[in-house]
Amino acid sequence: MTKQGHTVSSPLPTWDLSDLVKHPLRDFTRLSRQLEASVERLEQLRDHLTPSVSSETFQAALDCLETIAKLSAKLGAFAHLWFAENTKNQEARAFESRVRERLTQIHTRTLFFQLWWQSLDDEVADKLLPYSGDTRYYLDTLRRLRRFRLSEPEERVLSVKNSTGREALDALYGVFTSGLTFRLRIGSRVRALTREQLMAYVQSPDARLRKAAYDQLLTVYASQRDVLGEMYRTVVQDWKNEFVALRGYPSPMAVRNFTNDIPEEAVEALLRTCRSSAKLFQRYFRLKAAILNKRTLSRYDLYAPTRTSLPRISFRRAQEMVIGAYRRFSPQFAQLITRVLEEHHLDAHPRPGKMSGAFCYSVLPRLTPYVLVNFTGRPRDVATLAHELGHALHGLLARDRSLFTFHPSLPLAETASVFGEQLLMETLLNQERRKHIRQALLVAHLDDLYATVIRQAYFVEFERLAHRLAAEGATLDRLADQYLALLHEQFGEALHVPEIFRWEWLTIPHIFASPFYCYAYSFGNLLALALYRQYQQEGPAFVPRYGALLAAGGSQSPEHLLRPLGVDITTTAFWEQGFHHIRTIIDELERTV
């Protein structure tokens, strides 16, 4: 099979998905048969899953579950990645729909194990746990969430319903928004652009182009607000109906907290610290206004570059910079991330129909992760490459874990990626002595920190309001008013927010696909900044302890995994350490003015 998405003439790498699936239709049939055989083996064990089950039968059931999970992961990953490389590919879209339906059937048929395990008395479960190996935390998590489980018939109905409900709506949002076209006058020509291409202009040195790009983005999305808004209200209502009304979670956001295994007091401490620290970024925005020779910034200027234009960077040079930054921290880390490139698991070539943004997909413990970026040569693209390869590093270090404990929980999932960005930034600043270049690098870095810390926290604050108001029947205009009010709060007098930004929430995929997901970005970024401060203070002695954190994957709760590093996530004092690091960056920027 030829490489999926491979473009020989392109100077940018595209990925090869044949490590997952070589022939979609043929391999779908083959993997489906293997899945069916494993599911049937598990079903044959069902009558033996009683309170007196033997340790051998229990382990056999776990082996079946892991085999099913691995085969499902392969199919699901290929379907998503094939779709991501060209969302307009009808064959890929049909394949993803077929895979989603098949995996839903598999999940429905295997639900009985999860429900049986959750129904056991603590005494029985405690006797079996020593035989669970590295799946223990996964099993502990099922026990922890058992208070929210429903009966097997109800769980089966919800599993089927979600495949054509919330999950299908998420896919529809992606297809619908990927198909939007944006028109921007550049020079004497009006060009039709994808969102990814359009967003490059919000960082243009030309203020007119920045404004035009934002206006086009928000005008196009706002013109679809009836459809997108109804999608969002449906997501919110579905979330409430299933998780609060049926399962009994105390609040919509509690669903995410329980899933992440994060105490509510930790999340509240994080969000409270972010909200109170918005003034720190307001100080930065006033400083940036002075750098840009403006009295006050507009929201259109949020990501404006300095008057010093940073040069475009070739992909080859970008990869050298990123690998070099990781190598200075740990030669092992550099060696691991190089696998992503050597094994053709990176797709960097932007093209029409390709999914916008960037992500890393860690599929299986012993399989090198896949990375998607849209590389256009901007310095920010180099930081994105460092970020996504950090995610890949996390997966590669956790390769000895079970598939069930391989992935880190969401709050820890951003640790390695943000830490990698810090390594890159330190490398760039250490190599650069020219004041105006250092200033431009620091501004770009602080722009990213705003986007991944404060901005994400305020998305969650909006979601908290939106889930409550939508349940009360609030109009889309009311939701937009609340979003705009939160923008005014986070920017204060330091930045003017035009009225059109009230519709910006329609452009945020995460609030549609994964409610309350975004605080994981704030969590991961501030955690990584705090850990980076430790590294600066401790030097090489920090490296093995940090490596052990990443190698643990998701084998224990975030609280437990962070304990050896002296971290207490329930206190505002800890989160303030991350903001202290941001303050030092702003101080350094101030010295360049």
CATH number of the CATH domain containing 89: 1.20.140.70
C-alpha 585/C-alpha 287 separation (Å) is 12
With 50 as the cut, is the pLDDT of residue 405 above it? Answer: yes
Which class for 61: exposed (0-12), middle (13-18), buried (19 or more C-beta within 10 A)? buried
Can you give the residue range of the structural domain that contains 63?
A: 17-162
Q: Which amino acid is located at 167 in the chain?
A: E
Q: Domain ends where: 132, 162, 192?
A: 162
Q: Locate 162 and state its tokens.
A: 């979600």
Per residue in 253-282, pLDDT (tens digit) is: 999 999 999 999 999 999 999 999 999 999
Phi, psi dihedral angles at 182 (to 5 degrees): -120, 135
Domain annotation covers residue 329: yes
Whole-Å CA distances, 148 to 167, 242, 255, 257 = 20, 10, 10, 13
Confidence of residue 500 (pLDDT cuts 50, 70, 90): very high
Where is pLDDT greater, at 533 or 5?
533
Rounded to whole angstroms, the Cα distance separating 369 from 4 reads 16
Residue of 106, 107, 111, 102 whose CA lies nearest to 27: 102
Cα separation, 173 vs 322, in Å, equals: 33
| Residue carrying structure tokens 């992503």 | 340
Greater confidence, 262 or 310? 262
Q: What is the mean pLDDT of residues 182-209?
A: 91
Q: At what angle do helices 90-119 and 152-163 cross, to 10 degrees?
A: 160
Quick: pLDDT tens for 317-362.
999 999 999 999 999 999 999 999 999 999 999 988 898 889 999 9
- Of 144, 162, 180, which residue constitutes the final position of a domain? 162
Calpha distance 506→512 (Å, rounded): 9
User: What six digits make up the tokens of 182?
Assistant: 């944006």
363 occurs within a structural domain:
yes
Residue 291 lies in a domain: no
Q: pLDDT band at 503, cuts 50/70/90? A: very high
Reported pTM:
0.87
Angle at 145 between CA 237 and CA 415, to 5 degrees: 85
Return the higher-pLDDT residue of 353 and 140: 140
Give the rounded percent of residues in the chain with a pLDDT score beyond 70. Answer: 98
CA–CA distances in Å: residue 314 to residues 49, 196, 297, 308: 58, 18, 31, 19
441: its two tokens: 């690098």
In Å, what is the CA distance from 515 to each residue of 173, 234, 240?
14, 12, 11
* Collapsed DSSP state (helix, strand, coil) of residue 514: coil
Q: Give the Cα separation of 354 and 193 in Å (integer).
A: 12
Q: Tell me if 392 sits within 8 A of 340, measured CB to CB.
A: yes
Q: What is the mean pLDDT of residues 134-147?
A: 94
**Beta strands 189-193 and 346-347: pairing type?**
unpaired
For residue 109, how far is the Cα from the chain centroid?
A: 29
CATH number at residue 380: 3.40.390
Contact 459, 510 (CB under 8 A): yes
Average pLDDT, rounded, for the chain: 93
Nearest Cα neighbor of 495 from 203, 293, 283, 308 is: 283
Lowest mean pLDDT segment, chosen from 151-155, 288-292, 538-542: 151-155
pLDDT of residue 303 exceeding 50: yes
- Residue 7, pLDDT score: 35
Which of 371-375, 436-440, 477-481 has the weakest average pLDDT? 436-440
pLDDT value of residue 138: 96
In the predicted model, is pLDDT for residue 10 greater than 60? no
* CB 592, CB 442: distance < 8 Å: yes
- Check residue 4 and give its pLDDT: 43
Nearest alpha carbon to residue 22 among 41, 1, 39: 1
Least confident of 24-38, 167-181, 525-539: 167-181
Digit-coded pLDDT (tens) for 79-96? 999 999 998 899 999 999
Q: Long-range CB contacts (< 8 A, 24+ apart) of 426-435?
A: 426/325, 427/321, 427/324, 427/325, 427/328, 428/321, 435/592
Sequence-distant (≥ 6) Cβ neighbours of residue 422 within 8 angstroms:
528, 529, 532
Q: 354 in a domain, yes or no? A: yes
Three-class secondary structure of residue 305 per DSSP: coil
How far apart are the C-alpha atoms of 482 and 130, rounded to whole Å? 50
Task: Return the pLDDT at 1.
Answer: 35
> Taking a C-beta distance cutoff of 8 angstroms, is the pair 456, 521 a contact?
yes
184 part of a folded domain: no
Higher pLDDT, 25 or 79: 79
Residue 497: inside a domain: no
* β 359-361/495-496 pair status: unpaired
As a whole number, mean pLDDT of residues 434-463 equals 94
Question: Is 351 in a helix, a strand, or coil?
Answer: coil
pLDDT at 320: 95
Segment 2-12 shows an average pLDDT of 48
Average pLDDT for 509-534: 94
Q: Say which residues have a Cβ less than 8 Å from residue 544's Cβ, sequence separation at least 6.
A: none
Q: For position 8, what pLDDT does the model report?
A: 31
Residue 257: inside a domain, yes or no? no
In the prediction, which pLDDT does 358 show?
93
- The one-letter amino acid code at 299 reads R
Predicted local distance difference test score (pLDDT) of residue 5: 40
HSE-up (13 A, CA, CB side) for residue 538: 15
Confidence bin at 163 (pLDDT 50/70/90): confident
Domain tally, the chain: 2
Residue 9 has pLDDT above 70, yes or no: no
Please indicate, yes or no, if residue 322 is contained in any of the structural domains: yes
